[in-house]
Amino acid sequence: MKAMTIESTPMNQLRTFTASASDAGSRLDEFLAARLGELSRMRIARLVALGVCSVNGAVSVSGSRVAAGDEVRIDLYDAAPTAMNPEAIPLEIAFEDEHILVVSKPSGMLVHPTRSVKSGTLANALAYHLNVARVDDSKLDDDASPCGPGLPTAQSDSGERTDIKRPGIVHRLDRATSGLLVIAKEPKAHSVLSRHFQKRLIEKRYLALLAGVIAADSELISAPIGRVEDVRPYWRVVEGGKAAETRLNVLERFTAATLVELEPVTGRTNQLRIHCSWIGHAVLGDEVYASKKLAGPSLGPSRLFLHAWRLAFHHPSTGAWMEFKSPLPQELDSFLEGCRNGRES
């Protein structure tokens, strides 16, 4: 039997955004990716290529640049439906109701499928969790697809599509970063959370162990981040990049490393890792942005020491203030204890 996938259109129809002064010069696809966290960059590029995106009323292309004051519109229903393959991957759930889901993502897991990775992502796990009864009832052949079983396109007797739940992912974490994410389970929650992220009403805090000893107890890192084509890593501090700010507070100092709490004031790609490396104190275990010249423990952690440990926001339906905390994963906690045992008196 041929395996099938969830067929669904994006949650909202017509989305409109206005570019601010800090957005000026950004590529259109990057501008949209920062505001449509539930969609992959590849998906956004396809939508723009279909001609469903306009800037100030004129159809535009992904590579065009936005200017301050530009009105950007994109019609998410004009494209062919997306496909999602549900997979029975365990989720660490901190909270769930009919509106939202708060989960802790493990290190090594992608949030969205990519061109080369089609399974094992958080989106695959969420698609299964939100539709588990329908997946189980479909009894599809696990071996029929390299991506595993999925869901049939469900229709009513009248031929209309029935309600298949699609995870509304409104923010992301790097593959190597672990920690908390809030997911919308219905369109209104998705719209409210997206707006709150844009207005910086959602509080996010990360724990990171940085190479070297930081003298100041706190620091505001302000350095523009942009993409440099054909130079890896592509994202870095560059003149003319988009404004980016990170607040750093020292929690504990060791012989050759510093435990800090990081607050991303802005949300640029790889911002925390780039900013820490830029000030000369890269995140331990960072194989992309760390310089070999940086001092640190001789035996580094087995993974990137960056964990989204605290997430706080207003509930999109009730307005109640909610706060969630996720302890350090065991591998990071054990490494931190090793640093404490070797700390100079």
Task: Judge whether 300 lies within some domain.
Answer: yes
For residue 33, the enclosing domain spans 7-75
Last residue of a domain, one of 43, 75, 107: 75
Last residue of a domain, one of 21, 40, 75: 75
pLDDT score at 298: 54
Instruction: Convert the pLDDT of each residue in 275-291 to its tens digit.
Output: 999 999 999 999 899 87
Length of the chain: 345
C-alpha–C-alpha distance, residues 19 and 202, integer Å: 20
Task: Judge whether 16 lies within some domain.
Answer: yes
Task: Please state, for a pLDDT cut of 70, what percent of the chain lies above it.
Answer: 81
Specify the number of domains making up the chain. Answer: 2
**pLDDT surpasses 80 at 234:** yes
Instruction: Convert the pLDDT of each residue in 34-64 to its tens digit.
Output: 888 667 777 888 788 767 788 887 777 777 8
Last residue of a domain, one of 75, 96, 111: 75
Q: Is 237 exposed, middle or buried (0-12, 13-18, 19+ CB in 10 A)?
A: middle
Give the Å distances, CA to CA, from 82 to 10, 39, 43.
Answer: 8, 10, 9
**pLDDT surpasses 50 at 232:** yes
Task: Judge whether 312 lies within some domain.
Answer: yes
pLDDT score at 134: 76
Task: Judge whether 156 lies within some domain.
Answer: no
Task: Judge whether 186 lies within some domain.
Answer: no
Task: Judge whether 84 lies within some domain.
Answer: no
C-alpha–C-alpha distance, residues 180 and 8, integer Å: 26
pLDDT score at 306: 98
Q: Pick 212 or 138 by higher pLDDT.
A: 212
Q: 82-84 and 6-8 as β-strands: parallel, antiparallel, unpaired?
A: antiparallel
What is the residue-averaged pLDDT of the chain?
A: 82
Task: Judge whether 315 lies within some domain.
Answer: yes
* 10-24, 107-121, 205-219, 252-266: the lowest-pLDDT one: 10-24
* 37-41, 44-48, 72-76, 259-263: the lowest-pLDDT one: 37-41
Instruction: Convert the pLDDT of each residue in 124-169 to its tens digit.
Output: 999 999 998 777 665 444 433 333 334 444 443 333 344 567 788 8
- CATH number, domain at 59? 3.10.290.10
**pLDDT surpasses 70 at 248:** yes
Q: Is 160 exposed, middle or buried (0-12, 13-18, 19+ CB in 10 A)?
A: exposed
Question: Does 233 sit behind a cis peptide bond, omega within 30 degrees of 0 on the bond before it?
Answer: yes
Q: Which residues neighbour 162 within 8 Å (Cβ) at sequence distance 6 or greater?
A: 154, 155, 156
- CATH number, domain at 295? 3.30.2350.10
pLDDT score at 146: 33
Q: Which residues neighbour 167 within 8 Å (Cβ) at sequence distance 6 or greater?
A: 38, 101, 123, 126, 127, 130, 183, 184, 185
Q: How confident is the model at residue 84 (pLDDT cuts 50, 70, 90)?
A: low
Q: Which residues neighbour 269 within 8 Å (Cβ) at sequence distance 6 or greater?
A: 225, 227, 235
Q: Which residues neighbour 68 within 8 Å (Cβ) at sequence distance 6 or greater?
A: 19, 20, 21, 23, 24
The pTM of this model reads 0.74
pLDDT score at 36: 82
Q: Pick 323 or 295 by higher pLDDT.
A: 323
Name the E strands within 129-271. 168-169, 178-184, 203-211, 218-222, 225-227, 235-237, 245-253, 257-264
Task: Judge whether 308 lies within some domain.
Answer: yes
Instruction: Convert the pLDDT of each residue in 111-125 to its tens digit.
Output: 988 777 889 999 999
Residues tagged active-site: 174
User: Which residues is 14 bridged to in the sheet?
Assistant: 75
